[in-house]
Amino acid sequence: MRKRTLGRSNLEVSAVGLGCMGMSFGYGPAADKQEMISLLRSAVDRGVTFFDTAEVYGPFTNEELVGEALSSFRGRVVIATKFGFKLDPNGGPKWVGLDSRPQHIRQVAEASLKRLRVEAIDLFYQHRVDPDVPIEDVAGAVKDLIREGKVRHFGLSEPGAQTIRRAHAVQRVTAVQSEYSLWWRNPEAEILPTLEELGIGLVPFSPLGKGFLTGKIDEKTTFDSSDFRNIVPRFTPEARKANLALVDLLARIAKRKKSTPAQIALAWLLARKPWIVPIPGTRKLERLEENIGAAAVELTTDDLREIEGAASKITVQGERYPEQLARMTGL
């Protein structure tokens, strides 16, 4: 697979990465561990070198899974993980707040190193901006970890433009992770121009709209009771029915390009900027191969113009997050 460099850093990764969260958390019960280990190793065999996890996924179990699966590929893969959530002290499955105090960042780093079975964390994101801790203190704490050789690169997840600038002034930010896709384009207003100016890469999560842009979901689809999408306003049956217009657009382009709606959605992201690296998630080998195939889909200027023109006439229905989670983004 082709490689891309995240911004003006020296961090080179596969053009399409793999988001690992859904293997353990968020989209129903955790998948079979051995099957997911096999899938992760298959991804490496097919050229994927960029893997995304976090301590809160599980919690802990996703990092352990990724660490075990990729332990024999050390030096060949880049693993990103995250800090910043306060976890249930009683060992419950949910986070109970935010915590980006420097001493907590260090504790998370030490624990993640063990779970990931690595000597240094390749890319360490603040998972959500903590309004109670100045971002300069957060960046300084990661800077210390980089100086000590425990972390290689610093990242931010779902920050606002001013937060990015303030953090970057203390410690170079290599990558920003934000939701970005044809059905969530808000980063285009402030985030993308800021990243371009500062030389920071963008790692879009949910590049397939939490599965919706694949064309495999409609208003009749039901989700497991533990599936996060049950509480997402954009996934009400009414919103899904209205938003199928966007899937129809992708399907029309896909038919002409002899590809799939998912591949067109990912190819569109790849065509936006050379420093964008999407991280679609999956539990299935055939979907992994489909997503990887997007890197070979070439969208022409005319294709992109057609997508832009048609998409501009479609108003996506429903908020992307319930209110509690929405308040934690773009700080």
The catalytic residue positions are 57
Q: What's the Cα-to-Cα distance from 33 to each of 37, 58, 187, 224, rounded to whole Å?
A: 6, 13, 34, 19
Residue 321, number of CB atoms within 10 A of its CB: 18
| CA torsion through residues 300, 252, 243, 294, sign | negative
Which string of DSSP letters, residue by residue, matches 84-107?
-EEEPTT--SSEEEE---HHHHHH
Query: Is the peptide bond prior to 59 cis by the omega test (within 30 degrees of 0)?
Result: yes
Nearest CA to 273 out of 186, 180, 183, 209 is that of: 180
Tally helices (H) and strands (E) across the chain. 11, 11
Tell the residue number behind the tokens 């190193």, with chain if given. 113
| Residue 162 DSSP SS3 | helix
Buried b (16+ CB within 10 A) or exposed e, 233-268: ebbeeebbebbbebbebbeebbeebebbbbbbbbbb
Angle between helical axes of 285-293 and 261-272 (0-180°, round to 10): 40
